[in-house]
Chain A
Amino acid sequence: MKNKIFIAFLLCLILLSCGKKDDVVEIQDWNFGGMPKLMEWLRQRVNSFEKGRPGVRVVQSQKSWNMIRELLYADFSAGTGPDVVNVHANYAAEFGGAGHFYPLNNFPDFEQVRKWYVPHLLESTRYKQDYFGLPSSGIAFVLVCNKELFDEEGIAPPKTWSQFREAARRLTKDTDGDGTADQHGLVLLGGDRGGFAYRLAPFLYKAGVNIMSEDLTKIEFNSPVGIATVKLFADMYQVDHSITPGFLAYTLSEMNDVFCSNKVAMSIEGPWFRGMVREKSPGKEFYTVPVPVPDDMLDQYDTAPTLQDMVMYSISARSKHLNEAWELVKYLRNEEADMAWIQNDMGAIATTTSALSSPEAKSIRDLPMYINELNHARPWPSHPNIIAIANNVIAPYCQKAIVGELSPKAAMDQAAEEARRIIEGKK
């Protein structure tokens, strides 16, 4: 008898598991990185999206910002992956060009949607004729200066390379009188190759260096000015000793630690930095200024381009629910949603025209400077291999030049040669 009951129970279970699936459409949403406040906002926003659409369920996954390429390539090559994903806008060329992202301009209402955004920010999501994302979280790289240390020394934030080098030299000090410097002028993010490249590029751009030619067929970062840019950092490290000696091991968190503890006077950062500093050292003040330019370009100090970075929301070309995914992306990135970037510190700048011109935006500290920098900023060249070149070629060679393993010219020339082989498909 017991056996019969057990078999009947098993049969019931099997029948139940074979039942018709519910009609709910499931959207996989991968979220790379972001500050806790942004993640909380996303959770609430997705909840509200689901409430308005009972037939759609959104499954959110939080992923590491440093693993975007690894995770996406691994999943896309296996034919899986998310429906909706937020990534660097630079990936429009790499993933869009390879057919992994769906061109959003295929949606009939795209022309309406595109009007929400600051035009040149939307352009960053374009590769060839297609737009592969909706802008979110605009970023311009700037120089942050420790106000306490600068005021103590009685100097203003630098505008030119000479002022920058001089400020770093003066702010490198032996504060405890033991004969060795324990405070340094500048910290660089050396422990993360991508992060390092993103902090070197603003100096290259401000000096007028092109990473690649306009038609994306030639490597140009090893120009005389490009070499001079790397030499600036090499001299600061090797001659002035004004860059923290251990920078090659530093991650973002360690950079924040040394900045907040007054062991460093300057760092190359973006809009996320205020929130990070506030968390570690509430009330700490710093100047946020454009990245310095070469001495003969002083008149272009606030018009020369810095590096523009941006996050975009993209849809996988393999998504079986393109329309629902598009609805979700629009809901997360519409003008109303973008106001959250004005009302809260999301670690980045809003990207819609209406949010940036709202009355609330005027009261945000640093925002006019960031908007001005964003207006002139340039993203990485729109080439499918550019992130590989930045992370795996430019960063390691320039690090070697800074610490003196290679001369700046040899490092830039070797990097350019390797980058050339990559774009020619030989490596």
Chain B
Amino acid sequence: MKKSTPYLLLAPALLFTVFVLVYPLFQNLMNSFRDVSLVMGDRGWAGVRNYSSIFIDSLFWLCFRNTVVYAVVGTLLALLIGLGFALLLNIKIGRFNHLAAALYILPWVISPVVAGFAWKWLLNDNFGILNHWLSSAGIVKEGLPWLGDPRTALLCVIVARVWQFYPFAMVMFLAGLQAIPLEQYEAASVDGASAVTRFFHITLPNLRSVGSVLLLLGVIWSFNDFNMVFVMTRGGPINASMVLPVLVREFSFVYFDLGKGSALSVLIFAMLLCLSFLYLKVLSRRESA
């Protein structure tokens, strides 16, 4: 085999990557330093003006806060629920486990757009099933405008995100649980440890590395999540559930300010890059352990 053969074989894939990944990233980075508008065209070099205008924009800070809440709270809740279901599924009770696992994993395989629309209807103030249940149970008298109230809109989107992410956490935790040597539990039982003690001293420490990987992955994916928020609320009402990816769209395709939109997407990219490095570090520590 010639020395050049591997490179030749790699070339198509590399070229494809350059065209669909490297070039757009580079173009986006360039745009972030230029005054580019879909309406006015490219009006030349802007230096760091796009970035500075983002940092003095109160909407950016509101969206940053919303994104952090959406990503961290959503992921933590999904992890807790995923862990709960994984513990339940880890109790072997015949074929029911397979059926339950299949049912629990359903939200993960549903497209976020479809899920978003489904949640939008579930939460509809007049015809939604949630309000119907709540009023039937006497908890509320009339339907609450879940998505129309700035105080509850972000919470609703987080709930939908938790619903979609918990199955992944469940599967990962289940795999982690099944990898814990039974001997540890047996030894603890012999020493008289209660179920709670076993959970906190054997199960949780063994799941720590899975949990940290899941936490980072969940935060990264949520930080980047556009579909669920856009379908359910479009960032409304009155920006109450606006997150950074939706704000990129606002800047680029509502205000047609591609320069500012690009600058914001570069900032999101930088934040995600930091999280990704952290993720890789955790992963390598886990592998070495």
Give Cα A246 to B144, complex, Å: 8
What are the residues of chain A within 8 A of B141 when measuring CB–CB? 178-180
Please indicate which of the listed interface residues A73, A190, A249, A392 has the most CB atoms of chain B within 10 Å of its own CB.
Answer: A249
What are the residues of chain A within 8 A of B233 when measuring CB–CB? 249
Within 8 A of A (CB), among B212-259: 233-234, 236-239, 253-256
Give Cα A400 to B238, complex, Å: 7
A247, B126: Cβ atoms under 8 Å?
Answer: no
A257-B126 contact, Cβ under 8 Å, with A182-B142, A245-B148, A248-B237: yes
Please name the 4 residue pairs, one residue from A and one from B, whose CB atoms are nearest each other, closest first: A246-B145, A246-B148, A248-B237, A249-B148
Give Cα A258 to B236, complex, Å: 20
A263, B237: Cβ atoms under 8 Å?
Answer: no
Pick the residue among A180, A257, A388 that contacts B255 (CB under 8 A).
A388
| B45 interface hit (Cβ, 8 Å) | no
What are the residues of chain B within 8 A of A98 when measuring CB–CB? 39
What are the residues of chain B within 8 A of A180 when measuring CB–CB? 141-142
| B150 interface hit (Cβ, 8 Å) | yes
Pick the residue among A77, A190, A247 that contacts B38 (CB under 8 A).
A77
What are the residues of chain B within 8 A of A191 when measuring CB–CB? 148, 234, 236-237
| B149 interface hit (Cβ, 8 Å) | yes
Find the A residue at minimum CB distance from B124: A254
| B147 interface hit (Cβ, 8 Å) | yes
Pick the residue among B38, B148, B238 that contacts A250 (CB under 8 A).
B148
Within 8 A of B (CB), among A380-405: 388, 391-392, 396, 399-400, 403, 405
Give Cα A32 to B173, complex, Å: 48
CB distance from A424 to the nearest CB of B (A): 14
Could you pull out 17 A-B pairs where Cβ atoms are within 8 angstroms? A73-B38, A74-B38, A74-B253, A180-B141, A244-B125, A245-B148, A245-B149, A247-B148, A248-B238, A249-B145, A249-B153, A254-B124, A254-B126, A261-B126, A392-B255, A399-B237, A403-B150
Is the contact region of chain A dominated by helix, strand, or loop, or is it mixed? helix
What are the residues of chain A within 8 A of B237 when measuring CB–CB? 190-191, 248-249, 399, 403
A246-B149 contact, Cβ under 8 Å, with A178-B142, A392-B254, A392-B255: yes
Give Cα A388 to B143, complex, Å: 34
Within 8 A of B (CB), among A28-85: 69-70, 73-74, 77
Find the A residue at minimum CB distance from B240: A248
Give Cα A263 to B239, complex, Å: 27
CB distance from A100 to the nearest CB of B (A): 10
Give Cα A74 to B39, complex, Å: 9
What are the residues of chain B within 8 A of A257 when measuring CB–CB? 126-127
Give Cα A66 to B146, complex, Å: 24
CB distance from B45 to the nearest CB of A (A): 18
What are the residues of chain B within 8 A of A247 when measuring CB–CB? 145, 148
CB distance from A182 to the nearest CB of B (A): 5
| A181 interface hit (Cβ, 8 Å) | yes
Within 8 A of A (CB), among B253-287: 253-256
What are the residues of chain B within 8 A of A263 when measuring CB–CB? 126
CB distance from A412 to the nearest CB of B (A): 16
Give Cα A403 to B150, complex, Å: 10
Give Cα A403 to B236, complex, Å: 13
Within 8 A of B (CB), among A197-255: 244-250, 254
B236, A248: Cβ atoms under 8 Å?
Answer: yes
B238, A399: Cβ atoms under 8 Å?
Answer: yes
Pick the residue among A248, A388, A391 that contacts B148 (CB under 8 A).
A248
